[in-house]
Structure 1
Amino acid sequence: MQNWPWGEIDVLVSTGGGGIIPKPLQEVKVHELIPTITSLMNSILHPIHAVYPVMTKQRCGTIICLTSDVSIIPTYGSTIVGAGMAGISMFCRSLAVEAKQHCIRVNCVSPSVVRGTPLYDKLERDPFAATLISKVEQNAHLGVIMPDEVAEAICFLAGPGSAKITGQVISVSGGGTPI
């Protein structure tokens, strides 16, 4: 990277897209398959590609990507989104192996259903997605996740308490997704 004018970069938090309504594979049009997965992957690839050379040069940094529990738990109706999110998780885990030699940590936060977000509201309006949300919430015996709880997981991974953690995908689900 040539002249990076903004100084050092300590942390990158990158989200893996979102806003995609789950639906069974037979309802997904063939022309939607690759663009959906590409869109999810590009949402983290471009920011990481931009900051990685800077972090490598400064020999430190933390990269945290948001993915989804559908990348960990096979979920009916989330075949395409799950594949894209699993791609994000594996990309980050593989990058962690490369990045550790430069003292860069790479992890993922993988929330389940997060109430109080525009995506949650959008999913609740879709009958199929609403049934999935209902099932997840019924299993969330520790409580349905709120945005601040996802932020707390991100802050932990960005902070000194996680200085030796890399290559991990941390589920934040309130127990709503079976693990």
Structure 2
Amino acid sequence: MTQDFTGRRILVTGGARGIGRASVSRFLAGGAKVACLDRDAAALAALDRRAGLFPLVADLCDPAGLAAAVDEAAKLLDGLDGVVNSAGVDLLAPLEAMSNDDWQRVISVNLTGPMLVCRAALPYLRRAGGGSVVNVSSGAGLQPLRDRTAYCASKAGLQMFSKALAMEAAEFGVRVNVVCPGAVETDLFRSSLPEADAEAALGAVRDRYALARIADPDEIAAAIAFLTGNDASYITGAALAVDGGRTFH
């Protein structure tokens, strides 16, 4: 079922691929205007140029450029009343093999980047009289994975950041929630599988899930759309596991 987002102005980071792209499609189908931020200019250019879509190149590791991109998005959309932080990176490495730069990149993209976006967007959300922020964390922020200390720390941090921001933003009528996906059929997920025996690794991943399968990006986008929409008007500070049962299985 397509939700009604008529008149909504939504900013999505990481919107050129995977979960972000599926979310952009859902919002556009519901009648929203969407600013799609991504660092991949080629992937942005490859998006279907639909009415209401405004692609913008931005890098979450560039604070000044990112703030300027949020301002540009608000200008193009004539304000903001929705933000989805979907951009993210993974890192598969034991702690002793991980460099300082590896750690910093994961924290910068997965935790600092969403903070910068929220900080830049909050004045626009406040001006709109309320709105919604949905940050895309991970089931790995609820239940850890081996050899992913940086990734797990960044995603767990994003959850607590979101809960704390929900307390701050509530007085302005702004809701802040988190979606925690499990394995999702995206380029990022595929890149984490070993080339030598990808199918065996894929089977091992499936075995960790009660539903015994990998999610489609649109299944995660459906949860993001729900938390963004009016049906979730009394939900804030929540971390919703959309993970096929991994965190309890």
Structure 1 vs Structure 2 CA RMSD: 2.6
What's the CA shift for 1:176?
2.6
**Aligned-partner SS, 1:96:** helix
1:138 and 2:216 aligned: no
TM alignment of 1:16-55, pairs within 5 A: 16-18=87-89, 20-55=90-125
| Structure 1 counterpart of 2:189, one-letter code | Y
Aligned residue in 2 for 1:120: 189
User: Which 4+ residue blocks in structure 1 deviate beyond 3 angstroms?
Assistant: 2-6, 125-136
TM-score normalised to structure 2 length: 0.63
Distance 2:196 2:100 in 1: 22
One-letter code of the match for 2:156?
A
Match of 2:140 in 1: 70
User: Are residue 11 (structure 1) and residue 82 (structure 2) matched?
Assistant: yes
Distance between the aligned counterparts of 2:145 and 2:200, measured in 1?
Answer: 12
Q: Is the 8 A contact 1:92 1:106 kept in 2?
A: yes
| Contact map agreement 1:113 1:133 (CA 8 A) in 2 | no
Distance 1:86 1:163, change over 3 A: same
Identify the residue that residue 218 of structure 2 maps to in structure 1.
Answer: 148
Whether 1:81 and 2:160 are equivalent positions in the alignment is: no
Q: For residue 174 of structure 1, what is the aligned residue in structure 2? A: 244
In 2, Cα distance between the equivalents of 1:136 and 1:178? 15
Which moves more between the two structures, 123-132 or 79-88? 123-132
The answer on whether the counterparts of 2:142 and 2:247 sit within 8 Å (CA) in structure 1 is no
Q: Deviations over 1:78-106 (max 9, x none)?
A: 11111111111111110001111110000
Q: Which has the larger displacement, 140-149 or 80-89?
A: 140-149
Cα drift, residue 128 of structure 1: 9.7
> 1:59 maps to what in 2?
129
Q: Deviation of residue 39 (structure 1)?
A: 2.8
Determine which structure has greater relative contact order: mean sequence separation of CA pairs < 8 Å that are 6+ residues apart, divided by chain length. 1
Cα distance in 2 between the residues matched to 1:30 and 1:151: 33
Residue 108 of structure 1 contacts residue 168 of structure 1 at CA under 8 Å; is this kept in 2?
yes
- In structure 2, distance between residues paired with 1:58 and 1:175: 37
Scaled by the length of structure 1, the TM-score of the pair is 0.86
Unmatched runs of 5 consecutive residues or more in structure 2: 1-70
Identity of aligned residues (%): 27
